[in-house]
A and B are shown apart, each in its own frame.
Chain A
């Protein structure tokens, strides 16, 4: 789904809640938090972007989320993943926190080439 405004983050969270009606509150909260952080990054830093939701296959317990934007990209990914680093006055815990909450975490970004983040979350 497209992420173009604040309201899209709410829609993304709502879709994820509907997708996992039987998940425990701990699972839901972790997934919604990751989606919020990455979705907001795409909005604020990427000027808007996309999120693909890959529901768990039969017998699998991993939900995959792929975020992409065509924004300015991240100059120093190592620093961006470190706690306390922020370019927008935020807490600077978003990306590092997302990595801690995810089973797998991949980020692909370079200056001028946008940012793609792929996470897998236990569900």
Chain B
């Protein structure tokens, strides 16, 4: 079972879900995220799923559980990088992921959480 690393950027937590997360790892991630949100008083959680070619109803429920849990703890959840095929399949299945906002990529997700990345080139301009 692979543990998913949780990174801290400012007062937000960032995770990248690897291709093919097994069910046990998904539940561990959910619990770890909730604990880390509490321990650093995180304001936001970004979950990047761009590596996934499948988000089934179990994974969707895990993501929704994370979002609902951390929203009670006054933090918000952004899911980034849903592949077009994954998005369309979720729609066809009728699956929604409540309490989340979505972004096309991780950078957009960080921006939604109020973290603005400025490149050296932009700074110099």
Contacts and interface: CB of A to CB of B under 8 A. Distances in A.
B93 interface: yes
A30 interface: yes
A10 B59 CA distance: 13
B56 interface: yes
Contacts of B92: 30, 97, 100-101
A6 B53 contact: no
Contact of A32 (B24, B53, B57, B93): B53
B94 interface: yes
A36 B22 contact: no
Interface residues of A, number: 28
B58 A97 contact: no
A28 interface: yes
A32 B95 contact: no
Contacts of B55: 33
Interface string A32-53: 1100110010000000000000
A100 B54 contact: no
Contacts of A25: 53, 83-85
Contacts of A29: 53-54, 83, 85-86, 88-89
B94 A97 contact: yes
Contact of B57 (A14, A26, A37, A100): A37
Interface in B106-125: none
Contact of A101 (B24, B60, B93): B93
Interface stretch (A59-67, A71-79, A87-95, A104-112): A87-95
A36 B56 contact: yes
Contacts of B84: 25-26
B56 A6 contact: no
A29 to B, nearest CB: 4
B20 A90 contact: no
A96 interface: yes
Interface of A: 6-7, 9-10, 13-14, 17, 24-26, 28-30, 32-33, 36-37, 40, 83, 90-91, 93-94, 96-98, 100-101
Q: Closest 7 CB pairs between A and B?
A: A97-B93, A29-B85, A36-B56, A32-B54, A25-B85, A26-B85, A91-B57
